[in-house]
Each structure stands twice: as structure tokens, then as C-alpha cells.
Amino acid sequence: MEFKITHSSGDCRARAGIIKTPHGSFETPVFMPVGTQGTVKAMSPEDLSDADASIILANTYHLYLRPGAHLIRRLGGLHRFMNWKGAILTDSGGFQVYSLARLREISERGVVFQSHIDGSKHLIGPEEAIDIQEALGADIVMAFDECTPYPADYDYVLKSVGLTSLWARRCMDHRKREDQALFGIVQGGMYKDLREKSATELVAMNFDGYALGGLSVGEDAVTRQRVIDDVIDFLPVNAPVYLMGVGKPEDLVEAVRRGVDMFDCVMPTRNARNGTLFTTIGRLNIKNARYAEDDRPIDERCNCYTCVNYSRAYLRHLFMAKEILAYRLNSIHNISYYCSLMSRMRSAIKDNNFDHFYSEFYELKQNRIDQEEVRG
């Protein structure tokens, strides 16, 4: 993997760049749709390409349990298995073990857990996490880490940081494939000194990139932004920074402003399946009766397949009738919105007017709030 910064904002830490992988290049900042089980829910690979997605995320934990990493390797790797031509990032499985698995037992060796599918017992440690990700064949893989809960006391988080650093070193030592980039994951909870300790120890190992983990676990936005500011100072300028699992549009804008390059979140597709659609002026709940006869597209500024071809009235009809097409069309729009948002931020950085973009982003949403209050 190669990462090159092409433009830096003159008024904040935002930067634009290019990452080259064995499955093509993509520009940063970038949003990665989440294909947990080898598919972005309700979307085909062609839908994703048309929405301007250039890299997707797949999940080590889920693919290990079903259908199995070795099966995927025998069938030509994850790219061929799911017919995705672009880049893929796989996470290490640490967050899913933390959030889904039952009866976890954590030790230096790794994590023994029971599958959320059938209750079977498994062990994933740093060596297993690397073996699974090398079998899947992603372009970017993640070091195994412990995702600390929130809130957590200082002593627990200190011990967790030590374990994450130990596992990161073992991931580095165990890796065999030179065609995969390996990112370390900075932990440390909401404690500035522990975030510094984690970042400093990982940087000394010379990872290809660095992720900010342990966020979007219940903390407020101000705390999250403070943690990002704290960590960015200790990461190398010439390596990509990935904010894991954070996904509201305003969160992405705030993080790009602080120097983050890569994002993933299930929010756009999950919300699409629940009838919540993202627009340049805020969220739209397609279930609302006000859209029953509305002939306009979801977002008049959007040129995605859904907005070009279908009205709010039709999309509401599909959703209320529980038609499968509703989930696909809604997901196409939301992923297109997220990719377009990243594209607009890249353009603003290149044009050295990110502050203008930032102000306009919030003004458009505020104007809608003001209009709705007037309508009363």
C-alpha cells in the first residue's frame, strides 16, 4: 500500500490524498460501506460502484464463523467470492468479540468466546486474526485489539492498552503477506495520557496506518472530538488515519477537519432499511405521511440512481408496503450521499476552502430546522 497526501487545507488539519492497493487506488478522505458478511446489505457490487464506493469493509469475526475463512481462500479470496473489484479492508474481529460474543475470557493468548450463532467455543488471538485476514485476502488488515467498554476506570484501560500493544507486536511478527497493509489500532478510552501511550507504542512498531478504536461506544460528540484531537498529534503525518465505526455525517465532517482520512459505519445502510434517508439539508423519514403525494426526489441536489428515477411518494409506498425494493433504493441513496459528502470534502480541501464548506454544511441543515419551525 502507498499513501500520498496531495493537498492540505490551509485553515484546518483536513487533507486529501491517494491510497494505492493491489485492487486499485482510491482518494481520501473516504467512506467505506460496511459489508459485514461479504455483502453490503441490499446492494450489489454494481450498485456500490455506481454509488462511487471505492473500498468496502468486511468483518473478520463474521466471515470466520460463517462460511469460514479457509473456504473463502479455496474459492479465490474475498474479492472473487463476492465479485468486488475494488479494495477491501477487514477489521480484526476485536470489536465483535467485545460486542456480540458470549462468555468472553480474555488473556494474553487472546480471547476465548462462544459464537453468537450456535454457542460453539472459539479462540481468536493476534496470530489467528492475522491468519484469518490473510486467508480472506483483503488489501488492508487490522491488528487484533481489545476494545474497552465505556465508561471504564483508569486501571482497566491502562491494562487494556498494554494488552493491545502486546497483541499489535505479535500481529506484526506473525504477518506473512507483503501485499496487505497492516494498521494498528489506538486504544486508551477517554484518557489523554493513555491514548498518547497507545499511539506512541504503536508508532514505534511502524504500522502502515493507524486506526482510532474504542469510540462510538456511548461517549458524546464533544468527548469524541477531543480524543481525536489528542491522538492526531502523536501519529505520523505520512500515514493514513482511520476512525472506526463513527458515521453520522456531522461526525465525518468534524473528523475530516481534524485530519482523519478513512471512515466506516453501518449507519447509512441500517438507517435506509429503517426508512431514514440522508440529504444535504438533514434527515428525511420516508414513513412520514407528508410524503405520500410528494413527487420530488429524496434530495434535489443528488444525482444517484434513486433520486434520478423515483419520487418520495413512490419510495414511501414501497416502504409502507414492505417491498424489498425499498431497502435497495434507500440504501443506494444513502451510500451515494455518504460518498458524495466525502467527494465534496475532498474538493473543498483541494480548493483550499474547507472552512467555507464546513460553514455551508451546517447552514443548510439549520435553514431546514428554521423552515420547519415556521411551518410549525
Does the structure show a pLDDT above 90 at 368?
A: no
Percent of the chain past pLDDT 70, that is, above it, reads 97
Looking at residue 104, its pLDDT comes to: 82
Domain ranges of the chain: 2-264, 273-365
Which CATH number describes the domain made up of 2-264? 3.20.20.105
All residues at 6 or more sequence positions from 206 whose CB lies less than 8 Å from its CB, including other chains: none
Query: Among 47, 91, 230, 261, which one carries the catalytic annotation?
Result: 91
Helices and strands in the chain, H and E counts = 15, 16
Render pLDDT for 5-19 as a digit per residue (tens, 0 to 9): 999 999 899 999 999
Render pLDDT for 321-349 as a digit per residue (tens, 0 to 9): 999 999 999 999 999 999 999 999 999 99
Query: Among 139, 145, 264, 299, which one carries the catalytic annotation?
Result: 264
Query: If you average pLDDT over every residue of the chain, what do you get?
Result: 95
Q: Where are the beta strands (DSSP E) in 266-374?
A: 276-279, 282-285
Looking at residue 367, its pLDDT comes to: 75
Which band of pLDDT confidence, cut at 50, 70 and 90, is reported for residue 369? low
Give the three cell numbers for residue 292: 405520500
Q: Are 109 and 58 in contact (CB under 8 A)?
A: no
Does the structure show a pLDDT above 50 at 373?
A: no
Please give the torsion angle defined by the CA atoms of residues 182, 187, 193 and 198, in that order, rounded to the nearest 10 degrees: -30
Render pLDDT for 156-204 as a digit per residue (tens, 0 to 9): 999 999 999 999 999 999 999 999 999 999 999 999 999 999 999 999 9
Percent of the chain past pLDDT 90, that is, above it, reads 90
Q: Are 194 and 158 in contact (CB under 8 A)?
A: yes
Does the structure show a pLDDT above 90 at 372?
A: no
Per the model's pLDDT, the better-predicted residue between 113 and 196 turns out to be: 196
Pairing of strands 55-59, 121-124: unpaired
What's the maximum distance between 2 C-alpha atoms anywhere in the chain?
62
Looking at residue 365, its pLDDT comes to: 87
Mean local confidence (pLDDT), 93-97: 82
Mean local confidence (pLDDT), 42-47: 98
Looking at residue 97, its pLDDT comes to: 77
Looking at residue 371, its pLDDT comes to: 52
Give the type of residue at 236.
P
Looking at residue 366, its pLDDT comes to: 83
Q: Is 264 a catalytic residue?
A: yes
Does the structure show a pLDDT above 50 at 226?
A: yes
Which band of pLDDT confidence, cut at 50, 70 and 90, is reported for residue 39? very high
Q: Are 269 and 43 in contact (CB under 8 A)?
A: yes
Looking at residue 101, its pLDDT comes to: 62
Looking at residue 116, its pLDDT comes to: 87
